[in-house]
Amino acid sequence: MASHGIQIVEVGPRDGLQDAAKLLAVEDKVRFIELLAQAGCPVIEATSFVHPKRVPQMADAEEVFAATAHLQDDGLRLLVLVPNLRGYDRACSVGVRNVALFTAASETFNTKNTNATIEESMERFLPILEKAQADGVWVRGYVSTAFGCPYEGPIDPKAVAEVADRLYQAGCAEIALGDTIGVGTPTRVRQVVSEVTRFVPVGNLALHMHNTRGRALANIVVGHEMGIRIFDSSAGGIGGCPFAPGAPGNVSTESVVERFEAEGVSTGIDLGFIRAAASHIDRALLGEHDED
């Protein structure tokens, strides 16, 4: 982890774009990532190597990654989502060094998202983790629906902890707890983080909060009070999930940076570049770059 008080994981290029109706040009995505890198983001989730028919926006994963891979030379961690061994091999073929696996604490969401039960997800991940270890590839593991599921409602914190524990024991270096549909509350965060930290060291935990009416920031503050130092966010607060109806955007990077810097906690992020990145991608989503 960097020498700053907290670490921002900028997920805009992946979570922010995956559910956008307008398919963007590779150059627009690359420019977005370049501006985020200029802002000083230490980790950027660049794309995902999922099935192109399931998430058409990510069908250009190889091209986007190949065009931004050089940013890794400056110490930036470029992270990508991989759902299975096929995704891992696609990612490695273009030089990916950091991957994120994803499963959930809810069976229904996991099945709709990945066509696998939680158990089947783990079976998919074990060979990837084995390969990643041999390849020296760094691995994050997501537990989606950690604070509630669009299909099953509230999720038992013990079920979240069990999945987090399995991912951590299997070799994921970092566990990200996902509030996929933004239903977390400070009380819920306390309950879930208390349970998960019985199994996963707090230093290896990240919060990935989608934002309903500003609650994400309150949830992040609670996570910080409990010792978490890694927070996912997206420039401009874009985000969503095609398989979680009603999922709101991610908490905005601007709001997280402002909140922590105001309290004297350094983030290492230059908000001017974050705003430039957000405005660039907003214009692209509105189709304003087509004739440039």
Q: Which residues are part of the catalytic machinery?
A: 241
* CA-CA-CA-CA torsion sign (206, 8, 82, 289): positive
157 touches ligand HMG by CB under 6 A: no
Answer for the pair 231, 211: CB distance below 8 angstroms, yes or no. Answer: no
Question: With respect to ligand HMG, which residue has the nearer C-beta, 48 or 212?
Answer: 48
Answer for the pair 252, 234: CB distance below 8 angstroms, yes or no. Answer: yes
Question: With respect to ligand HMG, which residue has the nearer C-beta, 144 or 204?
Answer: 144
Residue recorded with tokens 């920031």: 217
Binders of ligand HMG in range 14-33 (CB under 6 A): 15, 18
Question: With respect to ligand HMG, which residue has the nearer C-beta, 48 or 233?
Answer: 48
* DSSP three-state, residue 125: helix
Indicate which single residue of 68, 103, 106, 114 sits in contact with ligand HMG (rule: CB under 6 A). Answer: 114
Which helix (H) or strand (E) segment is 163 a member of? helix 157-170
Contact flags string 131-150 toward ligand HMG, x per CB under 6 A? -----------x-x------
Binders of ligand HMG in range 80-99 (CB under 6 A): 81, 83-84, 86-87, 90
Answer for the pair 179, 148: CB distance below 8 angstroms, yes or no. Answer: yes
Indicate which single residue of 8, 12, 15, 101 sits in contact with Mg ion (rule: CB under 5 A). Answer: 15
Alpha-carbon distance of 127 to 84, in angstroms, equals 9
Binders of ligand HMG in range 46-75 (CB under 6 A): 48-51, 54-55
Q: Which residues pair with 97 in a beta bridge?
A: none
Residue recorded with tokens 């956008």: 20
Alpha-carbon distance of 175 to 101, in angstroms, equals 10
> Residue numbers of the site for ligand HMG (CB under 6 A)?
15, 18, 48-51, 54-55, 81, 83-84, 86-87, 90, 102, 113-115, 142, 144, 178, 180, 208, 210, 241, 243
> Residue numbers of the site for Mg ion (CB under 5 A)?
15
